[in-house]
Amino acid sequence: MGYKLIDLSQEIYQGMSVFPMHQKTFIMTNMTHEENMEATGSKTLGFSARNLLISEHGGTHSDGVWEYNPNGPTIDEMPLEYFWGSAICLDLSHIRYPNYIEPRDLEDALEMSGRSIRKGDIVLLYTGHHNRNFGTEKFQTDYSGLSYDAAKWLAENGVVNIGVDAPAIDLTPDDTDFSAHLVCGEYNITNTENLCNLDLVANKRFLYIGLPLKIREGTGSPIRAVALVEE
C-alpha cells in the first residue's frame, strides 16, 4: 500500500494575511548573488540570502501554551508528540459564521467520519473557511470557532492539538473571552491555526506532522504542516 503526502500549510510571503494583533510579514534581501561574488572575490558563484521578519504566529503555526497561560510551557518546552502523530480530521464545513461549533456538532461529525478519538490524538477541524474566503477581506473576520464547551469536549477526550483552517480556533472577533484558547490553557494543550487543504483529509485518519521551530521561550512558531495518508 502506498502513501501520499498532503501539504496543509499556507505559503509565507510579504503581504500574506496575518491576524490583526500580530506582526505583518516582511521579506528583505540580505545579499544578491552578484553582491556576494564581489564580497568574496569568487568568479565562479555567489550565494543569495533573504531576511524574514515574521510573527511567531504568522501563517500556519502552532501556539505555545505560554501565549495564553503565563504558567504554561513555551513552544520549546512542549512535548514534540503534540506536533506529530496520529490524527483525524472532522468535517464541520456546514457550521458557518456567526455560529459556534458546539459539542453536539463534534459528536455528529465524529459519527459521520466513522472514526473515534484516541487519547493523544491530534484533531483537525475542516471548516471550509480557507477554501471559501482566503484572499478576501472576510478571511480575518467571518469564520466560525469552538465554543468553550466544544473545546473542553475535545480536551477531555484526550486531544493534544486542535487544528483549524481559519485564523483562530475561537469565534473571533465576536468571542472576546477567546474561549477555545482558554481551554487550551487550562489543559496545557496546543492548537494549530491557518491550515489549508483540509478537505483532502476530511473524515480520514492519517499521520500528521507539524513541527515548530525550537524558539527559546517562544510563544508559538510557524510550521510546515503535512498529512501522510494511505492511498
Say how far apart CA 27 and CA 127 lie, in whole Å. 30
| pLDDT computed for residue 173 by the predictor | 81
Digit-coded pLDDT (tens) for 151-204: 999 999 999 999 999 999 999 889 999 999 999 999 999 999 999 999 999 999
Mean pLDDT of the region 79-108: 98
The amino acid that residue 49 corresponds to is A
Q: Global pTM?
A: 0.96
Predicted confidence band at 62 (pLDDT cuts at 50, 70, 90)?
Answer: very high
CB 80 within 8 Å of CB 61: no
Digit-coded pLDDT (tens) for 117-145: 999 999 999 999 999 999 999 999 999 99
Q: Three-state DSSP class for 87? A: strand
E strand spans, the chain:
3-7, 26-31, 49-53, 61-63, 84-91, 100-101, 122-126, 145-146, 161-164, 190-193, 205-209, 220-222, 226-230
